[in-house]
Amino acid sequence: MSKEISNTTFQKSIVHYYNELKKGYLEELEKASNKEYAKIHWQKVFFTENEYVPYKSVLFNELKFIYHHHNCLDAETAYNKTIELIPQVRIIAEKRKNDAVAVLKGNKTIDLADWYLEQIETGKSTLKELILIEEKVLAASNENLIGSLAMHLAGQKLHKEFNQKDYVVTTPIPKHKYEFTRKEQLLALYFLKKSMGLNLAQNNDRTKIAAFYHLIMGVPFSDYAKIKNLTIYSSLGVVPQVVDKDKVLLKYLQKIRPFFNDLSLTIAVELIDKQIRMCNSELK
């Protein structure tokens, strides 16, 4: 980060964006015939989904998380801590973008970043659009990134002020010891279902089954017409071989096995062990 951008300048930028966003919001609200409808619409436009803030980018999402984390720990040092970590955040975002490019080209051995999956599965963006957004954000200067962060913080402050009664402060989801990819979840459900003798495919088309999996896994989707373009639908066609490489599949199987074993789900464990032996055989 350029040394010209100090914490003082950053704080001044937040104040500047705060005043400009508030002014624009109040002007639009004043003109509206339906104030309640306009309130929701213009708060999205100015405060929470501002088009000048790259919310769909992994880079910016990580940057936002880092600043929030350090601001909660020590507001005085939060800015400097965030600046120090920008190079690492760029490396993470570059990798996530490259993974996305590989998936777009047909590589099934790579898991998309959860942030990308969320945008795709809620119908907000396509994978191609997300890649283009990430490339643009990666090409931006650190000064521009910090400017976007300042605008975001100003918008958050205004959103809180205009919704004092029902405003809920959201905190970033912490990193957990046990985190599972969509494909690991699909594998777990597959073996649970198979161990119970359930064959959903016998009397149902894959779209309905995929919708049911979305329900169980807590993954939103916009409508049935688009569900065929999502990860869960495509994976159901090849499960348990949810990835091309047996080495990766073996890793997934070994990760989910203990959870079945802990519950003494003997049939499911036997099915997983059989799949593990098949993977080991292919790897020899």
pLDDT of residue 173: 53
Q: pLDDT-derived band of residue 281, with 50, 70 and 90 as boundaries?
A: confident
Question: pTM for the full model?
Answer: 0.64
> Which H helix or E strand runs over 231?
helix 231-236
Q: Are 157 and 18 in contact (CB under 8 A)?
A: yes
pLDDT, mean over the chain: 88
Whole-angstrom distance, CA of residue 28 vs CA of residue 14: 21
| Residue 2 pLDDT greater than 50, yes or no | no
Percent of the chain with pLDDT over 70: 94
10 Å CB burial of residue 16 (0-12, 13-18, 19+) is: middle
For range 57-65, the mean pLDDT: 94
Q: Are 146 and 5 in contact (CB under 8 A)?
A: yes
Q: pLDDT-derived band of residue 13, with 50, 70 and 90 as boundaries?
A: very high
* pLDDT one-digit tens code per residue, 34-57: 999 999 999 999 999 999 999 999
pLDDT of residue 4: 57
pLDDT of residue 169: 42
Q: Are 18 and 154 in contact (CB under 8 A)?
A: yes
Question: How many H helices and E strands in the chain?
Answer: 12, 0
| Residue 66 pLDDT greater than 80, yes or no | yes
Tokens 């090409």 label which residue?
A: 139
Whole-angstrom distance, CA of residue 63 vs CA of residue 110: 24
Closest CA to 191 of 253, 243, 244, 251: 253
The values of phi and psi at residue 199, to 5°, are -130, 85
Whole-angstrom distance, CA of residue 212 vs CA of residue 196: 17
The values of phi and psi at residue 18, to 5°, are -60, -50
Peptide bond preceding 87: is omega within 30 degrees of 0, i.e. cis? no
pLDDT of residue 170: 47
Lowest mean pLDDT among 1-15, 25-39, 97-111, 211-225: 1-15
Q: Are 69 and 208 in contact (CB under 8 A)?
A: no
Whole-angstrom distance, CA of residue 118 vs CA of residue 251: 24
Q: Are 125 and 58 in contact (CB under 8 A)?
A: no
Q: Terminal CA-to-CA distance of the chain, rounded, Å? A: 49
pLDDT of residue 165: 57
Q: How many CB atoms lie within 10 A of CB 232?
A: 26
Residue 218: C-alpha distances to residues 117, 168, 182, 214 (Å)? 13, 21, 11, 6
The ranges assigned to domains in the chain are: 7-161, 182-283
* pLDDT one-digit tens code per residue, 96-151: 999 999 989 988 788 888 888 888 877 788 999 999 999 999 999 999 999 999 99
Whole-angstrom distance, CA of residue 47 vs CA of residue 29: 13
Region for 123 from its dihedrals, namely left if φ exceeds 0, alpha if ψ lies in -120 to 50, beta otherwise: left
* pLDDT one-digit tens code per residue, 158-213: 999 998 754 444 445 556 677 888 889 999 999 998 899 888 776 778 888 888 88
